Amino acid sequence: MSSALDQLRSLSTIVVDSGDLDAIARARPVDATTNPSLILKAVESENAVVAQWIEEVRGATTDVDRRRWMLGARFASRIQDDVERWVSLEADATLSFDTAATIACAETLLDEVASAGGDPRRILIKIAATWEGIRAAQVLESRGIACNLTLIFSRAQAQLCAAGGITLISPFVGRISDWHRAQGAQFDNAEDDPGVASVRGIDAWCKAHGYGTLVMGASFRNTGQILALAGCDALTIAPDLLQQLADSEQAVEPGIQRHGLSAVELAETPPDASAYALAIAEDAMAAEKLTEGIRRFAADQRALEARLQG
């Protein structure tokens, strides 16, 4: 029998979530996703290629922001050698509430990718799904720049992205589950997992309304969560979980469309600015996890900057 990973490949696009160049090459993914935390982890590793990049970037006669963008572009360009399609490269988390600055950052990142020998057309600019971030992504998409809206914790975020023509969204599974467990919730399997339910609901709403935005499940804690979303447009998975799936012969069946939304939920419309703000404010989990995610990425961004000081 084929492995669970091979079965999953026939149902969903497999994306590797890592900054580890060797792990990405071994995984044979269609796409890859990076973020400041993953790049920082790679910088702290013993990889000789990354160490050389650090020395080159430190020697650049430019400010630290540009150095960080240069390093990210080197990662993305190198990763493109080992994937079939896109690499997601994150705009600065510290700009998550500044539309104009996010647009400028994205365009500079693509310039740096080209300078590093990569293909800007195969980059997804990764942006936190704040109101300002989503607006920035809409402008970028109108200019032919594809985006991946990340830190999706609520259907309101996903609805706004889909209506805005965003190429891909990344609803987080594990962080939603973590929050509910921290509140005392107990669930022993993926069918009862609120993170899994959130992605299924987002996918059901997007598909019911005919939007072309791709839904990519992200932030997995175990293979059960992954397999429960088999059939999702894409799944971005850390190398250790990919290996567990490769070692398993568990039968894989489509799971994304189980337990669809109610008629009332399906009739929801994309929010305007005030409705979006209210939806996030009224959802304690989404409000907490969105700001926490930005805060963590910003902290790792600053830690990376410290490494790049000349």
Rounded to an integer, the average pLDDT of 111-126 is 98
Active site residues: 126
| Average pLDDT value for the chain | 96
Rounded to an integer, the average pLDDT of 286-307 is 96
On the 0-12 / 13-18 / 19+ scale of CB atoms within 10 A, 183 is: exposed
Q: Which amino acid is at 268?
A: E
- Taking the chain, what is the end-to-end CA distance rounded to the nearest angstrom? 54
pLDDT of residue 280: 97
Rounded to an integer, the average pLDDT of 136-159 is 98
Q: Is the confidence at residue 196, as pLDDT, over 70?
A: yes
Angle at which helix 194-208 crosses helix 155-163, to 10 degrees, equals 30
Which option is the CATH number for 4-307: 3.40.190.10, 3.90.1300.10, 3.20.20.70, 3.30.750.24?
3.20.20.70
Angle at which helix 284-307 crosses helix 273-282, to 10 degrees, equals 100
Q: Is the confidence at residue 310, as pLDDT, over 70?
A: no
pLDDT of residue 218: 98
Cβ proximity of 256 and 55 under 8 Å = no
Residue 42's Cα: distance from chain center in Å?
17
Residue 80 DSSP one-character state? G
Rounded to an integer, the average pLDDT of 113-126 is 98
pLDDT of residue 309: 86
pLDDT confidence band for 61 (50 / 70 / 90): confident
For 290, half-sphere exposure in the C-beta direction (CA atoms, 13 angstrom radius) is 26
pLDDT confidence band for 200 (50 / 70 / 90): very high
Give me the residue spans of the domains in the chain: 4-307
Coil, strand, or helix at residue 18?
coil
pLDDT of residue 57: 93
For 156, half-sphere exposure in the C-beta direction (CA atoms, 13 angstrom radius) is 18
